[in-house]
């Protein structure tokens, strides 16, 4: 006697509520089996896929059953609860039917008894297959639209990234309230990843190795991959923002409802380091070189690189040399290689020239304090007021949500009022961001820059080579090399503005086109206004 195989499938737990759970399907298929003359062994002839979509053939039990049909000549039929359990894609269903026909295996639907090999039965089968596909694509579109709506409202609609967890709570009305919260066991690792990379001393691969050695917790005991670390560093989710969907076209949500783990300042610093590494091809190598990533050619505009070469007598010599290549295109250049020590001695002299004397630093610091003391207090008062208003808005949103979940207001009313709260909160957050990027922050940055400018040469002399690399990048934006000389040096902002007067007598130092822009963007210098004169007095 030939055997019958039974195939059962559910894609979600919700199907249990609709009466097509696994036990229901199994019971109906066994009832159908009794009306046909086939042998059946539940331990070997029952195939079950749980939590698998019928829109794909990549289902473990289905693939096992297909292999069985192709190799076991004793299989005479397969039985399913209905056609949609087998496939919701017409092409997939047609391929399965073709395979069954080739091996003379009968397809039986326990609840669609009109399906048979007659023309009418085949016609009905085609209609049901198309209907199953239509229902699947329609549901997918509905889910996609609902997810997009949640995303626009500031709610991440899918699984939370590392550092967060998805939480669900069922309220008395039966509705499920879902949200995302910080996973405290993973928060420290997120901060560690960003903190280490922001130093500029790690490439992605080296950072992954460092974190693995420190015991970074990866799911299922897997080894930490560099791609995982890179995706974390690029993910705006950690600052309370995200892009949706993953594929274009997409939109950006700047003020999402989940709490941030990383500050925007740290995130932007990390992006700058990543950009600098990529731009200068500054991956982690066997050797550190002080000026690699900063030096460009004064003749052709290419980046300069560095390396050690072995001579015929076995000695190693280090050289900086022009890559003679812009992007992937080779260029003509006559510049010759320079001994590493020769060029780095020139750089050390530039560091010494740029160091501000203590008397100048104290003078600037006192003037800054007088000018911005009152403004800083005013901005702090505004900041606290905005934070209070944002928290009040969030409390109103939570109260509105509870009213909706308890059935006190309908969904339409909830949607209308919730949109108003979201709009209000976005406006307040935008205002808060502008305030936090104001005078107080600028003063702190200028103070840090003053400290660096006041101690750069002393720190450089005492620092190990790896730390000298970091000092060089903190201080300089670009160095132009020509005829074995540093012919032009551009400082990073706002150091360029603070050191401008001291460096006027040294043509090698060139102010960037946006010199002073860091201070100007906070409204402290406006072209052709009294404020400009005031700011100029600060750095005089």
Do 333 and 302 contact (CB within 8 A), yes or no?
Answer: yes
Closest CA to 486 of 316, 386, 348: 348
403 Cβ partners below 8 Å, 6+ apart? 409, 414
- Any catalytic annotation for residue 302? no
532 Cβ partners below 8 Å, 6+ apart? 525, 526
Do 480 and 332 contact (CB within 8 A), yes or no?
Answer: no
Distance CA 153, CA 164 (A): 19
Residue of 11, 53, 263, 385 marked catalytic: 11
Distance CA 261, CA 433 (A): 16
Distance CA 7, CA 67 (A): 13
The first and second tokens of residue 169, run together, are 């709570």
Q: Cβ–Cβ contacts within 10 Å for residue 420, how many?
A: 13
Strand pairing of 46-50 and 3-10? parallel
Q: Is 83 exposed, middle or buried (0-12, 13-18, 19+ CB in 10 A)?
A: buried
127 Cβ partners below 8 Å, 6+ apart? none
Distances in Å between the alpha carbon of 135 and those of 12, 25, 58, 140? 15, 20, 20, 9
Cite the active site residues.
11
């Amino acid at each position: 006697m030939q055997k019958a195989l039974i195939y059962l499938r559910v894609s979600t737990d919700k199907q249990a509520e609709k009466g097509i759970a696994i036990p229901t399907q199994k019971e109906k298929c066994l009832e159908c089996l009794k009306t046909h003359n086939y042998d059946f062994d539940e331990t070997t002839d029952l195939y079950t896929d749980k939590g698998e979509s019928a829109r794909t053939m990549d289902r473990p039990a289905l693939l096992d059953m297909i292999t069985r049909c192709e190799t076991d000549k004793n299989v005479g039929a397969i039985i399913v609860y209905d056609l949609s359990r087998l496939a919701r894609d017409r092409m997939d269903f047609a391929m399965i039917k073709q395979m069954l026909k080739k091996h003379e295996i009968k397809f039986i639907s326990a609840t669609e008894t009109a399906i048979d090999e007659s023309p009418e039965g085949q016609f009905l089968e085609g209609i049901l297959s198309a209907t199953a596909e239509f229902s699947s694509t329609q549901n997918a579109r509905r889910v996609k639209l609902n997810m997009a709506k949640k995303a626009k409202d500031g709610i991440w609609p899918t699984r939370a990234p590392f550092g967060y967890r998805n939480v669900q709570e069922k309220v008395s009305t039966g509705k499920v309230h879902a949200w995302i919260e910080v996973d405290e066991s993973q928060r420290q690792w997120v901060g560690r990843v960003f903190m280490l990379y922001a130093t500029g001393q790690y490439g992605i691969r080296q950072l992954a190795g460092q974190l693995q050695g420190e015991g970074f917790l990866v799911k299922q005991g897997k080894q930490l991959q560099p791609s995982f670390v890179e995706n974390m560093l690029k993910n705006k989710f950690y600052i309370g923002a995200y892009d949706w969907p993953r594929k274009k076209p997409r939109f950006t949500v700047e003020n999402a409802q989940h709490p941030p783990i990383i500050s925007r300042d740290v995130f932007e610093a990390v992006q700058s380091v990543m950009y600098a590494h990529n731009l200068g091809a500054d991956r982690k190598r066997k050797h550190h070189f002080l000026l690699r990533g900063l030096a460009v050619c004064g003749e052709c505009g290419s980046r300069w690189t560095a390396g050690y070469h072995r001579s015929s007598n076995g000695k190693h010599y280090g050289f900086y040399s022009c890559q003679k290549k812009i992007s992937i295109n080779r260029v003509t250049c006559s510049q010759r290689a320079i001994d590493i020590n020769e060029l780095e001695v020139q750089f050390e002299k530039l560091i010494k020239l740029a160091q501000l004397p203590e008397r100048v630093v104290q003078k600037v610091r006192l003037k800054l304090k007088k000018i911005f003391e009152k403004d800083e207090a005013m901005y702090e008062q505004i900041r606290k007021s905005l934070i209070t208003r944002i928290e009040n808005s969030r409390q109103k949103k939570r109260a509105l949500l509870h009213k909706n979940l308890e059935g006190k207001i309908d969904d339409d009313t909830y949607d209308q009022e919730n949109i108003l709260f979201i709009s209000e909160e976005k406006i307040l957050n935008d205002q808060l961001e502008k305030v936090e990027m104001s005078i107080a922050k600028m003063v702190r940055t200028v103070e840090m820059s003053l400290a660096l400018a006041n101690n750069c040469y002393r720190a450089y002399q005492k620092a190990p080579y790896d730390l000298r690399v970091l000092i060089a990048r903190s201080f300089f934006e670009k160095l132009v090399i020509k005829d074995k000389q540093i012919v032009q040096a551009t400082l990073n902002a706002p150091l360029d503005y603070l050191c401008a007067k001291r460096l006027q007598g040294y043509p090698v130092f060139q102010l960037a086109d946006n010199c002073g822009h860091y201070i100007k963007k906070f409204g402290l210098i406006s072209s052709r206004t009294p404020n400009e004169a005031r700011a100029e007095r600060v750095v005089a």
